[in-house]
Amino acid sequence: MADQFILECKGVSKSFGGTHALKNVDFRLKKGEVHSLLGENGAGKSTLMKIIIGLYRADEGGIFFDGQPYSARGPADAIAKGISMIHQELNPEPHLSIAESIFLNREDTKGIFLNKRATNEKAQKILDNFGFKKRAVTLMEDLTLAEAQMVEIIRAVSCNAKVIIMDEPTSMFNVEDAAKVLQLAQTIAAKGIGIIYISHYLEEIRQIADR
């Protein structure tokens, strides 16, 4: 049974001074599953996720990823191992294109020169694959906030993520934009990627469950 889970947290505890943020927490995520975490601010949702991506160290407990003991030295190490986190606060580079944003620090090159054509073509294939109706050369500053969030999610997939953590990804969106992000989450999960979806909005969790 254990091999069906892409990510497992067992008995994870974390304290800050005398405050117990997490106490003996167990968590499991299957491949291709959208697993929602619902709770008020301060409930410990983000603390657990920050332990998974290496921003915090657990005081007790263990984490297993793809059946093996797991730890990360930080977000970059977590990404390299197959776990990406999409944060609520977005800081896109406005003058980059969508393609440049997706492949930032991973650009195609010809010798010492950037191969923009190859980067644009690769990005466009990814966008088309997810039904994202924008051209890869579109500037990030010309996107809505929801579209910029979706580009961040697509970028995580392009890094070969097996697990994507979405921390309150639609808290500032209207109903229509939120629905687009939720649909993208379902599309990604259908490709076998596990998604942890954090929210403190019960109605949003119901929307995920109804899809």
Residue 146 · residue 177 · CB < 8 Å? yes
- State mean pLDDT over 62-74: 95
pLDDT at position 60, please?
96
pLDDT of residue 180: 81
Instruction: Work out the number of other CB atoms within 10 angstroms of the CB of residue 17.
Output: 5
- Of 174 and 193, which is predicted with more confidence? 193
Cα angle 48, 91, 189 (rounded to 5 degrees) comes to 50
pLDDT (mean) for 44-49: 91
Cα of 138 vs its chain's centroid, Å:
22
Span 173-191, average pLDDT: 83
**Confidence class for position 74, pLDDT limits 50, 70, 90:** very high
Q: In the chain, count of helices (H) and strands (E)?
A: 7, 10
Q: Average pLDDT, stretch 157-163?
A: 90
Task: Answer with the residue of higher pLDDT: 105 or 53.
Answer: 53
Q: Using DSSP, state whether 54 is helix, strand or coil.
A: coil
Q: How buried is residue 24: exposed, middle or buried, by Cβ count under 10 Å (0-12/13-18/19+)?
A: exposed
Q: What's the pLDDT tens digit per position in 131-152?
A: 888 999 999 999 988 888 889 8
Q: Tell me if residue 101 falls in helix, strand or coil.
A: helix
Q: HSE-up of 79 (CA within 13 Å, CB side)?
A: 12
Confidence band of 1 (pLDDT split at 50, 70, 90): very low
